Amino acid sequence: MTSIDDFARGKLAELEARHLRRALIPTLREDGVHLLRNGRRLVSFSCNDYLNLSRDARVRAAAKAAIDAHGAGACASRLVTGDHPLLSELEARLAAFKGAEAACVFGSGYLANVGVISTLVGKADLVLLDELVHSSVWTGARLSGAKTEAFRHNDVGDARRLLRERRAAGVNCLIATDGVFSMDGDLAPVGALSALAREHGAWLLVDDAHAIGVIDGGRGTTAGHEVALQMGTLSKALGSYGGYVCASAAVIDFIKTRARTFVYSTGLPPASAAAAIEALRIVEAEPERVAKPLAHARLFTRLLNLPEAQSSVVPIVVGEPARAVALSKALEDDGFLVGAIRPPTVPPGTSRLRVTFTAEHGRDDIERLARCLRIRMRALAA
Ligand SMILES: *Cc1c(COP(=O)(O)O)cnc(C)c1O
């Protein structure tokens, strides 16, 4: 028998040897773009606060006012005593913004995917996932007990093949994809997947965690398409915390009655709801701000002759984990924070830098990053 500490130490040593151990590094954010880490001031190209709303004075004021009026926490599950009117206001705003009948807010995007998927499908059903879909979607599918198959990334033909071969194996069938892929920054073919779902009597879930506030005037990748389940997070471009799903009124009522991560978890704090409501208002009122993260990402991909950015996320795939970590460290020496992403977050052999762009990045910051990156990549190749 192994003691629990020896077990953990053994696992950590094994991960360390493969450059896969992860560490938390104390980091203070100074403004929308700068942060303090290891005693140094860095320009961050690794935050998901794409519109810099987490620090926006209006968003902070809304959160503070909600705390002063309603306290710090929701105090119970919403079905018990925690259903603050701010939460239904937020849901009404989200539904209107996403062009859906209704919405349900969860404690996080992760909890939304886990709760929604495991509530809507079960053992008798089939789930088809894009192979690069977010971890929370996989977790929901596994927890549901449904037969689960992955189709090749963004390959509608492969999804069609799986539907032809396997559709009869499920009473109901859910197709799930990210709208913007979190580690690749590319967009799902939402229109084609929507048509495919209709053709085969399947339901489509699109996870727009990185798309709300950024893509298509901020409405996301689902705008203009028929998508049964429009999922997303309040924690990235909206600068707050929490997750949501928008759907028909019947589906949302069912989710609110049965989704375990909703029923058995405390409601979102009033401050998070108030911050998200104000952030949504800003997204609708300030299209210039919404356009900036993508414009900045495109400036960067132009400077480096990379394929044109499709979202605010740009990957630079370098292969082995040690290379990604070395490159990230070198850029930190140059004054930038750019995250190194390794397995199991991405498939083996595709470790990468993940560069994210926000509205408040300056042109000079972006040009300097491109210059430093080119020099560092050349040094690493030599
Ligand atoms: C971040 C993310 C989530 C989880 O959202 P949280 O609110 O951070 O829990 C879900 N899906 C995708 C694609 C994400 O990038």
pLDDT at res. 233: 98
| HSE (side-chain half, CA atoms, 13 Å) at 119 | 21
Mean local confidence (pLDDT), 365-369: 98
Span 277-289, pLDDT tens digits: 999 999 999 999 9
Q: What is the pTM of this model?
A: 0.96
118: region left, alpha or beta (phi > 0 left; psi from -120 to 50 alpha): alpha
Atom 3 in ligand 1: which residue has the minimum CA distance? Answer: 109
pLDDT(118) > 80: yes
- Asked whether the beta carbons of 52 and 360 are under 8 A apart, the reply is yes
Residue 261 in contact with ligand 1 by CB distance below 6 A: no
Residue 194 in contact with ligand 1 by CB distance below 6 A: no
Report all structural domains of the chain as residue ranges with CATH numbers, in order of start: 22-50+312-381 (3.90.1150.10), 67-285 (3.40.640.10)
Mean local confidence (pLDDT), 212-236: 98
pLDDT band at residue 382, thresholds of 50, 70 and 90?
A: confident
pLDDT at res. 46: 96
Rg (CA), the chain: 21
CA 197 to chain centre: 23
Residue 301 in contact with ligand 1 by CB distance below 6 A: no
pLDDT at res. 238: 98
Q: Is the dihedral of CA 275, 204, 130, 107 positive or negative?
A: positive
Burial of 20 (0-12, 13-18, 19+ CB in 10 A): middle
Span 7-22, pLDDT tens digits: 999 999 999 999 888 8
pLDDT at res. 212: 98
Percent of the chain with pLDDT over 90: 95
Cα–Cα–Cα angle for 171, 172, 175, rounded to 5 degrees: 140
Q: How far is the CA of 135 from the centre of ligand 1 (A)?
A: 8
Phi first, then psi: give them for residue 39, nearest 5 degrees. 75, 10
pLDDT(5) > 90: yes
pLDDT at res. 72: 94
Span 139-152, pLDDT tens digits: 999 999 999 999 99
pLDDT band at residue 380, thresholds of 50, 70 and 90?
A: confident
Percent of the chain with pLDDT over 70: 100
236 catalytic per annotation: yes
Instruction: Give the position, in ligand 1's atom list, of the atom nearest the Cα of 233.
Output: 7
Question: How many Cβ atoms are within 10 Å of 178's Cβ, its own excluded?
Answer: 28
pLDDT(225) > 80: yes
Structure tokens at 26: 């104390």
CA nearest neighbour of 105 among 229, 246, 237, 236: 246
User: What mean pLDDT value characterizes the chain?
Assistant: 96
11: region left, alpha or beta (phi > 0 left; psi from -120 to 50 alpha): alpha
Beta strands in the chain (DSSP E): 27-29, 34-37, 40-44, 102-106, 126-130, 147-151, 173-178, 203-207, 229-233, 243-247, 313-319, 336-337, 339-341, 351-356
pLDDT band at residue 1, thresholds of 50, 70 and 90?
A: confident
pLDDT at res. 343: 92
pLDDT at res. 81: 87
Mean local confidence (pLDDT), 310-320: 96
Instruction: Cis check for the bond before 321: say yes or no (omega within 30 of 0).
Output: no
Residue 209 in contact with ligand 1 by CB distance below 6 A: yes
Helix (H) / strand (E) element for 249: namely helix 249-258
Question: How many Cβ atoms are within 10 Å of 73's Cβ, its own excluded?
Answer: 14
Q: How far is the CA of 252 from the centre of ligand 1 (A)?
A: 20
Give helix 287-303 / helix 270-285 axis angle, nearest 10°.
Answer: 80
Residue 221 in contact with ligand 1 by CB distance below 6 A: no
